[in-house]
């Protein structure tokens, strides 16, 4: 016993050994960049536990393979004055957000989800069946007759408490993701009074989504996107067969409101004006960024900046109450469905630029910002390309390895077992032929249709987890592996709702 006590005393008396200093000489910046990234994480501010505002940013279809490929694409094709680089070391706007998690995306009846069920999970905290927006798992069309029994959305609760509301999207405003902010339908295609919502189904008494948006209780402060045809009657630029002009109805509901139909109209508005703003810029979805005409359609970053400025300016009129804003980069998904890598990555790049603008513009001590995807796609990044290889190009492996089964072409491309050059990016399924696109083009052409394993009419969603990034009050709750409907509860907790 005495010997043990003497040994313990000697151990306690031993001077503490200083931690070794990491001064390893390095040949490039990776080591130093890694240390700087660690230091930034060690200095994360202990933010307040309550938020005044919540911004949910959804890159529709932006799975983890899309994030990685978009990061490289953005580094190789920068849009902010940077010099092009290899791309792998580049960072997108959310890459340095301090809190991250993996999110399980399945619907209540489907392993691989659609946007209706996933957006519902985020907006109402309830997982739904595939194709269903903000209905309970056991509710059908008959539930439209008892709307008080439907799951309440974050927007409905926020408006009832006097908060501001906004929606920004590059899709139709009646498309699944934006519709989940304000709407309830048992079938996502009931966007307007048209052939997608047959007369027999309308007998259920469920209002179409365009009608629900215009008649949302308390209204929305700012709504910007596409899909004007669902709001206008046939013969007047729309597809509605019930003769209703919902734009005129909205203007009657909000006489001081500002309706805009193009980028010029939006740019003429004063974001500090308290009147609500309704922007419908196209009959259907907005154009892909690659195809967008700036004088006709605003960009996603431009719409987001306007909506954010308007909601921030309106706080005083709301007695200091904050807002809920949903921003969707919706056409990442559509480019993937066409198996068109260029447009998918360009849309993801613009979504990153939008996230960067938001993070620079808000006070993160009072605003919770969440960046995520609703689901993934069957989009793969594979082979053994050398660092800096064109992310849209054929695979050129590094010296000493990574060749395909067929060796190398005279140009140095890796070949498959049929002797064909391989691309880094491909799809597990998708169309072999698509209008305006071709698989015979070079792979870095904007209209190139990527290789896929199975031929289908349209490429499908993927079922793997997606990423969630967070900054602001209660961002610390974003960690580990989460069910998707937990996102709703994190937003509610940040706002102090119990």
**β-pair partners for 342:** none
Q: Are 174 and 209 in contact (CB under 8 A)?
A: yes
Task: Tell me the torsion sign for CA atoms 437, 441, 445, 448.
Answer: positive
Residue 187 in tokens: 């079938």
Axis-axis angle for helices 300-313, 341-361 (nearest 10): 20
**β-pair partners for 258:** 277
| CA–CA dist 443, 433 (Å, integer) | 15
* 299 is annotated as an active-site residue: no
Residue 192 in tokens: 């307007």
Indicate which residue of 29, 65, 115, 361 is catalytic: 115
Residue 78 in tokens: 């920068």
Residue 224 in tokens: 């910007």
Q: Are 121 and 485 in contact (CB under 8 A)?
A: yes
| CA–CA dist 281, 261 (Å, integer) | 5
Axis-axis angle for helices 341-361, 64-76 (nearest 10): 80
Give how far Cα 283 sits from Cα of 197, 247, 448, Å: 18, 13, 26
What is the set of active-site residues? 115
């Amino acid at each position: 016993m005495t010997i043990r006590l003497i040994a313990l005393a000697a151990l306690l008396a031993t001077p503490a050994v200083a931690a070794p200093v990491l001064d390893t000489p390095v040949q490039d910046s990776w080591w130093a960049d890694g240390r700087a990234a660690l230091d930034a994480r060690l200095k994360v501010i202990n933010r307040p536990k309550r938020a005044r505002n919540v911004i949910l940013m959804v890159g529709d279809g932006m799975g983890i393979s899309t994030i990685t490929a978009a990061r490289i694409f953005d580094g190789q094709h920068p849009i902010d004055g940077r010099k092009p680089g290899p791309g792998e070391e580049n960072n997108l706007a959310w890459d340095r957000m301090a809190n991250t998690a993996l999110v399980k995306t399945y619907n209540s009846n489907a392993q691989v989800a659609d946007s209706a069920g996933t957006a519902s999970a985020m907006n109402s905290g309830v997982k739904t069946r595939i194709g269903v927006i903000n209905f309970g798992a056991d509710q059908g069309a008959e539930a439209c007759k008892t709307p008080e029994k439907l799951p309440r959305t974050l927007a409905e609760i926020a408006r009832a408490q006097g908060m501001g509301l906004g929606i920004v999207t590059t899709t139709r405003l009646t498309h699944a993701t934006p519709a989940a902010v304000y709407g309830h339908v048992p079938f996502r295609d009931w966007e307007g009074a048209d052939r997608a919502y047959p007369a027999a189904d309308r007998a259920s008494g469920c209002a179409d989504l365009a009608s629900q948006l215009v008649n949302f209780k308390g209204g929305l402060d700012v709504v910007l996107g596409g899909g004007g045809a669902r709001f206008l009657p046939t013969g007047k630029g729309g597809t509605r067969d019930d003769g209703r002009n919902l734009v005129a109805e909205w203007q009657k509901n909000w006489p001081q409101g500002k309706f805009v139909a193009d980028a010029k109209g939006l740019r003429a508005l004063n974001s500090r004006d308290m009147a609500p703003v309704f922007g419908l810029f196209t009959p259907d979805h907005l154009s892909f960024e690659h195809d967008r005409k700036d004088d006709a359609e605003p960009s996603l970053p431009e719409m987001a900046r306007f909506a954010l400025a308007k909601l921030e300016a309106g706080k005083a009129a709301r007695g200091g109450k904050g807002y809920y804003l949903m921003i969707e980069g919706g056409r990442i998904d559509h480019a993937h469905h066409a198996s068109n890598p260029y447009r998918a990555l360009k849309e993801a790049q613009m979504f990153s630029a939008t996230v960067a603008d938001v993070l620079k513009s808000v006070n993160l001590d009072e605003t919770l910002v969440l960046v995520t995807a609703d689901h993934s796609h069957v989009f793969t990044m594979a082979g053994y390309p050398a660092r800096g290889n064109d992310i849209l190009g054929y695979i050129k492996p590094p010296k000493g390895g990574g060749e395909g089964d067929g060796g190398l072409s005279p140009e140095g491309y890796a070949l498959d077992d049929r002797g064909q050059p391989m691309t880094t990016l491909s799809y597990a399924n998708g169309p072999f032929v698509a209008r305006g696109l071709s698989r015979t083009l070079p792979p870095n052409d904007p209209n190139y249709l990527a290789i896929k394993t199975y031929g289908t009419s349209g490429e499908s969603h993927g079922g793997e987890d997606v990423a969630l990034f967070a900054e602001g009050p209660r961002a610390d709750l974003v960690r580990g592996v989460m069910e998707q409907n937990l996102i709703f509860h994190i937003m509610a907790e940040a706002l102090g709702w119990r």
